[in-house]
Structure 1
Amino acid sequence: MGDNCTENCSTCVSECDERKKDYSDFRENPHPMSNIKKVIGIVSGKGGVGKSLVTSMMAVTMQRRGYNVGIIDADITGPSIPKSFGIREKAQATEYGYLPVKSKSGIGIMSINLLLDNDTDPVVWRGPIIANTVKQFWKDVDYMFIDMPPGTGDVPLTVFQSIKIDGIIIVTSPQELVSMIVSKALKMARMMDVPILGIVENMSYFKCSTCDEEHKIFGESKLEDIANEYNIDILAKIPLNPGLSPVCDKGLIEIFKGDWLENAADILNRKVDSI
């Protein structure tokens, strides 16, 4: 325990002895009939940076490349994945467990919202329940993307403890505090011994359709400095796009046109093959 310890572990990513010994292992093996090759966590040091959007777009990008893709929506503070994909039906229970609901293009999706009678019902999703989602029957999944809870407190740490994750993608935005926030997410991943695949900057700029210039709405990006400091890859810079929000609201993320994550997909393929 350090001199500056507040004894509030939910706000800390320190590597002190007290913190380390609290890493209970909730991990569960997948259903014996499942075939999941790689599990990729999408994380952020804070909420509101577009983590769920990046999760959805990464899944769609990999699906378009011919991979079988699944998504676990583990963001209990805002499980928005089903809405982005226009999924309204509930997950069906079978002798194998709950079956993930398929999107229009065939992406398997599991979310707490697909198990509730009412989407607005409150829920406390603890470690063993999170781990249980991976025990459902996932057939032939090349890439399983997990939309992680935001932040670096106990909730995202519990997800790391619950499911074996092969690598993470960090999502951030171009604001002044981003360096501190990203460093916390990086330290959390390294504490849990999870490979960092790279970083995506959302809301990086706005490209004017009239003058074709890029406007930095949130100021100049610090992404290159952070990438150099921590020796991590920049996977993508996603612009502010007025067309994205209505597409997600209408559940049509799969038909949205945008190539911002193609480089991320290339790097993901290369790095995951070496894991």
Structure 2
Amino acid sequence: MTTSAEVEAAAAAAATTRRRMLARVARLLRPSPGRAALLAIASLAMLYVMLFCPSTWETMTGWITSDAEAAMLDRYRSVARRQIQWMREEGELMSDGGMMEGGGANGTERCRNTVQGASRVADDRGFVCDRADVEASGCCGAGPATKRARFTCDACRVADTGYGSALGGGAAAPAASAAAECCDDFETCVSCCMRPDQKEALLRVLDTTRGHRLRAILSARDQFELCSALCRTSSLSVRHENKYRDEHAKHCFVQHLDESTV
């Protein structure tokens, strides 16, 4: 059985240990003369540069800011690569992220779509249809009278095949103008971009894109949101400030290696 003397001795020992630890922390926090001198010299040097060499100061702060921003964007880029949900093989749709089987006819399925098109809409399954054929669910309808196409690249320059591809028709265009995968309209651009075989090309876009355009696409949760952001914000179709490379192909989602990324 523990006696009162033993309890008092244990309490005294604990108090002594606490005092020693506090004293050690105080010694560590107490600035030494040498450390204080170095801190003062560094502060004076920074003040001198800031007051008398403003251009150098701006360069230094720019380096620090740009390095921190680059590190942050690289971290976001790696997260985006892991988290973006991709379309699977044609005919197999993802069950999460809003991508679902079927056409919304049973009223239980919902689709996101490109909303803003005056006459055409692309939904998050890769279908393009007339606005009149969009169901209350937001999906392109599947009725017999519905005109819709999935993963269509009609009116797109895809790689070096000119207008159209194995997934779409259209008049041929010179291969020299196919520096980027561009389409005539936003909805077709989104649908073509959502093809399952575009995943590797889109991952390269994530890896090589810089600046404000990268910020616009890093928040994408799935291939639909990524393609919508790319087709909407792309500057790949612009040659000069207000001049398009091709007046008929203003919406681009992939740029190839023979061009610099904007």
- Bigger Cα Rg: 2
Tell me whether the two structures share a fold, i.e. TM-score over 0.5.
no
**What TM-score do the two structures reach when normalised by structure 2?**
0.25
Q: Comparing both structures, which one devotes a greater share of its residues to strand?
A: 1
Q: Comparing both structures, which one devotes a greater share of its residues to helix?
A: 2
**What TM-score do the two structures reach when normalised by structure 1?**
0.24
Q: Which has the higher contact order (CA 8 A, sep 6+)?
A: 1
